[in-house]
Amino acid sequence: MAPSFDDGNSLFNFVVGDGNGVKGMVDSGLSTVPQAYMQPPIERIDKDRARKHGQPPIDLSKLGGPEHEEVAKQIVRASESLGFFQVVNHGVPVDLLESLKDTAHDFFSLPAEKKAVYRADVSPTPLVKYGTSFVPQKEKALEWKDYISMQYTNDAEALQNWPEEIRDVSLEYLRTSMSMVRNLLQVLLENLGVKPEDSMIDVLVDKKMVNMNYYPTCPNPDLTVGVGRHSDMGTLTILLQDGIGGLYVKIEEDSEFGKKGEWVEIPPVPGALVINVGDMIQVLSNGKYKSAEHRVRTTSTKSRVSIPVFTMPNATAKIAPLPEVVEKDGNALYKEFILADYMKNFFSNAHDGKKSLDFAKN
């Protein structure tokens, strides 16, 4: 039986502890958002005031062709200013993108018991984790989101351990998106003066993860967030969003894309993927490329899904600004650290914009 959602403890037990998620709460019939999900006014998202990011998607089929330089420039410019851009002709089949979205909806429609077996404390495998919000134990207001996260080690372990309902499409997505990720990194590194033969791309994408995010319909979208302000901690994130919209990025500095501090919406573009620069790229580039602060709103009309692939170095990797860049800049904005320490800090705090990067500041 559904608990009273006015009581914080029973809500927490139902949603987080028992793994019913926000989805379970919504399905039990809910006409208003419980207190635990009400964001303080400063974190609420005014959807009518945000501009849409009008930049057309970058055509990756032109990399390596006669227009290579122009396309490379577009990638660099977007990474230096917004830290977000969209791409088409990315090598991931468009019908696979459709299957991924359908599969995500099907998965989250499964009975709670089917998903709850992958809760962090009981999951049969350390590779798979099902959860809700980001760090529910630490958050003042919970995020209106359920997710499943699948770490990739190798094909055999993925086939054996990832939930079979979502395994095959997720693996195919990862497989087909990785050469694009490598090409993008190649462009970004070359622009920093790293010679292709010195490339450390293998190190930068050593770890990979496919997530499926589910944002149920929400009775009071103005009071809640799907994901609070954050940047992604890794190298590059590839994000498939559906047609609902509601993904916003903050402009870090005045630029051709808008004014500092302004939030712009990344509009859904059919067939496109969103690329998002993570904290590790900001550190390696000594601040030249910006990891993007972003967030997601909820809607009252339809549930939204998104499917990110996160890439990052191995937990034991030593991360520091690239010597080629520091030499040019004259000083390093970030210190050297072990990725595991950065991750520990990242995953033990509630989302708070780009505060995660303070850990690495010199």
Among 250, 247, 238, smallest CA distance to 266 is for 247
Which of Ni ion, ligand OGA, none lies near 90, with the C-beta cut-off 5 to 8 A by kind?
none
Least Å distance between CB 294 and Ni ion? Answer: 6
Select the residue interacting with ligand OGA from 298, 306, 311, 356 (CB under 6 A). Answer: 306
Among 22, 13, 6, smallest CA distance to 296 is for 22
Residue among 183 and 306 whose Cβ is closer to ligand OGA: 306
End-to-end CA separation in angstroms for the chain: 52
CA 73 vs. chain centroid, Å, equals 24
Place of tokens 């009975």: 111
CB 58 within 8 A of CB 87: yes
Q: Is 114 exposed, middle or buried (0-12, 13-18, 19+ CB in 10 A)?
A: middle
Run of H or E including 176: helix 164-191
Residue among 232 and 279 whose Cβ is closer to ligand OGA: 232
Least Å distance between CB 330 and ligand OGA? Answer: 34
Span of 12-20, 69-77, 232-240, 250-258 interacting with Ni ion by CB under 5 A: 232-240
Residue among 223 and 227 whose Cβ is closer to ligand OGA: 227
Select the residue interacting with ligand OGA from 150, 264, 296, 333 (CB under 6 A). Answer: 296
User: Rule CB under 5 A: is residue 232 a binding residue for Ni ion?
Assistant: yes
Span of 31-39, 181-189, 239-247, 345-353 interacting with ligand OGA by CB under 6 A: 239-247
Which of ligand OGA, Ni ion, none lies near 296, with the C-beta cut-off 5 to 8 A by kind?
ligand OGA
Select the residue interacting with ligand OGA from 80, 146, 232, 252 (CB under 6 A). Answer: 232
Count Cβ neighbours within 10 Å for each residue of 256-281 and write b for 16 or more, e otherwise.
ebbeeeebbbbebeeebbbbbbbbbb
Select the residue interacting with ligand OGA from 20, 86, 151, 241 (CB under 6 A). Answer: 241
CB 88 within 8 A of CB 119: no
Which of ligand OGA, Ni ion, none lies near 133, with the C-beta cut-off 5 to 8 A by kind?
none
For the CA atoms of 239, 240, 244, 246, the dihedral, rounded to the nearest 10 degrees, stands at 0
Residue nearest to ligand OGA (CB): 306
Q: Total residues contacting ligand OGA (rule CB under 6 A)?
A: 11
CB 248 within 8 A of CB 45: yes
Run of H or E including 182: helix 164-191
Quick note: the x/- pattern for ligand OGA over 184-223, rule CB under 6 A, is ---------------------------x-x----------
Which of ligand OGA, Ni ion, none lies near 247, with the C-beta cut-off 5 to 8 A by kind?
ligand OGA
* β-pair partners for 148: 130, 212
Q: Are strands 58-59 and 146-152 parallel, antiparallel or unpaired?
A: unpaired
Chain positions 166 to 195 lying near Ni ion, rule: CB under 5 A, are: none
Binding site for ligand OGA (CB under 6 A): 211, 213, 227, 232, 239, 241, 247, 294, 296, 306, 308
Binding site for Ni ion (CB under 5 A): 232
